[in-house]
Amino acid sequence: MPPILSLTPVRAGALLATAGMLCVGSSMAVSQTIVDAPFFTTQAVRYALAAVVLVVMARLTGRALPRPRGVEWCWLAAVAGSGLVLFNVGVVRGVEHAEPAVIGVAVASVPLVLAVAGPLAARRRPAPLVVIGAVIVTAGAVLVEGGGHTDLAGLGYAALVLVTEVGFTLLAVPVLGRLGPWAVSMHATWIAAVVLVVLGVTVEGPGAVATLTGADLAAAGYLALVVTAVAFVLWYSAVGRLGAGRAGLFTGVVPVSAAVGGVLLGGPVPAPAVWAGSAVVALGLMVGFGRRAQPADVSGRVAGDHGAS
């Protein structure tokens, strides 16, 4: 039996969520290398590669990729349109009107929103300790990101980033039970790729792909493999085990891992506020995963989760 299968659902979910958010955090430095590349075209390449990688990985590991039925296509299209297309538009356009920290704080607010919205979507009362933990995690993530200046448009894009990041998780919950994390990830990525190809051709022109450099393609490949294919499966597997509310706590790991990753790549040592914020995030996770918080949240796991171990 693989080691992760011997863990309790809560511990396995926590491990999967942490690993997934570490992957996402690693994207920050890589994404900075493609800021001058045609946006829609680069993202289309990324998600097309990710879809292929997911199919290959699923075949090699014997994972089933069920075909969506009926209204499931609508949920998957919503996941792709929200969490993959509009989220990236919000981030890229947002930093034109606001400092990156402002957009980062919007993402840092995701734990609190999911701690409340996740259980409510499942027609349950939010677990008090999970909500308290989410508040602490959010506060810690805000400390890590810091403040920033913005205009009205920047605030609007920050709100878009928050809503679409929450949608990436909540809109997938109705289909995770039958399709499982592998199929949800694969279908969402190819749908997003199709949408982005259309946008790329329309906005940037059909020749935009020829302007991508080797470095651009390498960055897109990393984002496709690590930040999309691997991270998506890990994240949706965690949501299946923990429920959206508790899994959302781990989005607070992203700014922490991004700060640490920056140091490993030769960047400056983070300011004391970053280390303080990291400690606060850890405290929030401890509160949200306390023994008294576990029973209420475990009951809200997605039925029929296929796992990703």
At residue 145, does pLDDT exceed 50?
A: yes
At residue 296, does pLDDT exceed 50?
A: no
At residue 166, does pLDDT exceed 70?
A: yes
Query: In residues, how long is the chain?
Result: 309
The rounded distance, in Å, linking the Cα atoms of 136 and 142 is: 10
105-133 b/e with 16+ CB inside 10 Å = b? bbbbbbbbbbbbbbbebbeeebbebbbbb
Q: Which residues are bridge partners to 98 per DSSP?
A: 150
The rounded distance, in Å, linking the Cα atoms of 164 and 1 is: 37
Mean pLDDT of 247-262: 72
Question: CA neighbours within 13 Å on the CB side: how many for 220?
Answer: 23
At residue 229, does pLDDT exceed 90?
A: yes
List the domain boundaries for the chain. 7-298
288 or 201, higher pLDDT: 201
At residue 227, does pLDDT exceed 60?
A: yes
Q: What is the pLDDT of residue 284?
A: 77
Mean pLDDT of 181-205: 96
User: Residues 196, 43: contact at Cβ < 8 Å?
Assistant: yes
- Write out pLDDT tens, residues 8-65: 777 888 899 888 888 887 776 677 678 789 999 999 999 999 999 999 999 999 999 9
The rounded distance, in Å, linking the Cα atoms of 240 and 173 is: 8
